[in-house]
Copies of this chain bind each other. A is one copy, B any other.
Amino acid sequence: MAQKYTTREQDYSKWYNELVGRADLAEHSDVKGCMVIKPYGFAIWENIKDELDKRFKETGHSNAYFPLFIPKSYLSKEASHVEGFAKECAVVTHYRLKNAEDGSGVVVDPTAKLEEELIVRPTSETIIWNSYKNWIQSYRDLPILINQWANVVRWEMRTRLFLRTTEFLWQEGHTAHATRDEAVEEAEKMNQVYADFAEQYMAMPVIQGLKTESERFAGADETYCIEAMMQDGKALQAGTSHFLGQNFAKAFDVQFSDKEGKRDFVWATSWGVSTRLMGALIMTHSDDEGLVLPPKLAPIQVVAVPIYKSQEDLDKISERFNELGAKLKAKGISFKYDDDDNRRPGWKFAEYESKGIPVRLAMGMRDFEGGNIEVARRDEKTKEVVSFDGVDAYIENLLEEIQLNLLNKAKAYREERTHKVDSYDDFKVQLEEKGGFFLAHWDGTAETEEKIKQETKATIRCIPADREEETGTCMVTGKPSAGRVIFAKAY
């Protein structure tokens, strides 16, 4: 009676939506555009958060917390920032409700109108730099290396769970530096932290690079990014790190005295990743049977299912699994033993497959008597019967192998779908036929970039940091190009 789910082939977008539901990760709430992140989905996010938080602290950052609300006028202080962020946002205009006179409930109290409206933060540069103004007088107060884990709101008309929601969870780093070089170094370092995390934990290969001017963060002088390829060949921007120059320091008049007493504006960076990473994680590895999780982020790494007819059999099998569970936990491997008598093994197998548990164990009486155990791996959907003796070490290795296999598969997938093109006609045909990433020459102008976007919906994902030295001519205009950039359709 298994429900029939949509496959990636049939409808990639529908497959994604169904998967988020069947793996019990998140759902839409009744509040337009806002999601509920369910316990299993949140447990994965907590693993992402914990590891990133550790890496931020190891690189010298501290957490802090700034207000949810931003006075409307702050958004206008940095000219390009207001263009990017002051449009679609939640505006608080009143601070009190009162009982409706007709007894129908509560209504807004018109006498409780705010003098200046408050905006629910879409990002916190303005409110944070307004604080930094009071914290920074001299070079001795620098650098400031702060991160914040928070919820932010950007009013979205068309939303998709994790990928684009009105409210989302994220971290935003905001740093202040005495020199330009130090700020650039920080922005690059944090982009590298993101890239390492994506590859080592999410098993998701990413391309590091710079955004073009038109794709930059509103208020940044330079935006570094990591870009990943999803299984439909589209790009997903998984993290960004911005060198903000002195733009916010100037907007909020944040100056410092250097060792010689000379005054200058402070240099800034900001960098962030969000619950969007959950969408990236899902779309990088999952298959038609459900979620596939890299072991390092799986809330449950190993699940064990007993197959039995009598209580006596169950007792024997349970003893083995409990023994094994203790050994795995001692190795730091999370283990769940599912001896729920209300569900049949087949139901459990399907359930844990949907939820992407990396390793599933099963034992029946024949296994028990032969001193064996069945070990199934989620990534390859293979299983084998191995000796129970030493299976803890076997599983430990297997988890490492799965982690690596997922990264290698995703890398191979991306390589296959990354194409060099030299003519615009070729580009257009291949983009529609094959999709993926296209390395092409571009003349460096926003006009050409915009023309390509209008005609093909592909954008420049980034100017790759490690691109080959190769000058050429723009595929559209034939003008000189300093090197290939990556074009793709994107989330």
Contacts and interface: CB of A to CB of B under 8 A. Distances in A.
Interface stretch (A57-65, A187-195, A199-207): A57-65
A364 interface: no
A167 B95 CA distance: 13
A21 to B, nearest CB: 12
Interface stretch (A80-88, A227-235, A264-272, A325-333): A80-88
Interface in A384-412: none
Interface in A30-44: 30-31, 34-39, 42-43
Contact of A66 (B29, B89, B94): B29
A96 B85 CA distance: 10
Contact of A140 (B43, B97, B105, B342): B342
A43 B63 contact: yes
Interface residues of A, number: 61
A94 B93 CA distance: 8
B36 A131 contact: yes
Main secondary structure of the interface of A (DSSP, over half): mixed
A88 B95 contact: yes
Nearest to A106: B86
A101 B108 CA distance: 28
A99 to B, nearest CB: 8
Contacts of A119: 97
A71 B34 contact: no
A481 interface: no
Contacts of A169: 65
Contacts of A71: 30-31
A98 B86 CA distance: 8
Contact of A97 (B36, B67, B89): B89
A153 interface: yes
Nearest to A75: B106
Interface string A124-148: 0001001100100000100000100
Contact of A91 (B92, B131, B342): B92
B63 A36 contact: no
A117 B127 contact: no
Given A167-B67, A169-B65, A29 B118 contact: no
Given A29-B131, A91-B97, A92-B120, A65 B42 contact: yes
A70 interface: yes
A421 interface: no
Contacts of A92: 90-93, 120
Interface in A94-114: 94-98, 105-106, 108
A69 interface: yes
Contacts of A91: 92-97, 108
A76 B105 contact: yes
Interface of A: 27, 29-31, 34-39, 42-43, 46, 62-73, 75-76, 82, 86-98, 105-106, 108, 117-120, 127, 130-131, 134, 140, 146, 150-151, 153, 155, 167, 169, 342
| A-B complex: 6 closest residue pairs judged by Cβ atoms | A34-B67, A39-B62, A76-B105, A37-B65, A91-B94, A95-B155
22 contacts: A29-B131, A30-B127, A31-B71, A31-B118, A36-B131, A37-B65, A38-B64, A68-B151, A68-B153, A72-B97, A75-B97, A76-B105, A82-B105, A86-B106, A87-B97, A88-B95, A89-B97, A90-B95, A91-B95, A91-B96, A93-B108, A140-B342
